[in-house]
Amino acid sequence: MDIQLSTIVKSAEDKKAFDIKILKISELTSIADYFVIASGNSQRQAMAISDAIEEKMHLNGFELRHKEGYNTGNWILLDYGDIIVHVFYKEDRDFYNLERLWADAKNVHI
């Protein structure tokens, strides 16, 4: 799991994503073990962050199960099974505030 989380975070950082958070949600829900949440300053940057994550995960043998929201670039969801990645355009992240919705989740540092 750590290699997957590290790959996701490093890929996002390489594209200048900011405010990257890893939330351990496994004790709160069965949909996944972790959420990774990251922001970009524009829809184009959010798409580039998503592309980088998808490419690096594929190169490391981790297959994407599902992707949503890519066409708009406002909120892109990448489903890797136990890890769900949310890449937001900054203003949409502020609006949806997933961290508030999942306030009982533990922040993870890698």
pTM of the prediction?
A: 0.92
pLDDT of residue 61: 96
In this prediction, residue 81 carries a pLDDT of: 96
* Number of domains the chain is built from: 1
16-73 per-position pLDDT tens digit: 999 999 999 999 999 999 999 999 999 999 999 999 999 999 999 999 999 999 999 9
**The residue to which tokens 């949310």 are assigned:** 86
Q: Which domain holds residue 22?
A: 2-108
CATH code of residue 103: 3.30.460.10
CA distance 35 to 5: 10
Look at residue 1 and tell me whether its pLDDT is greater than 70: no
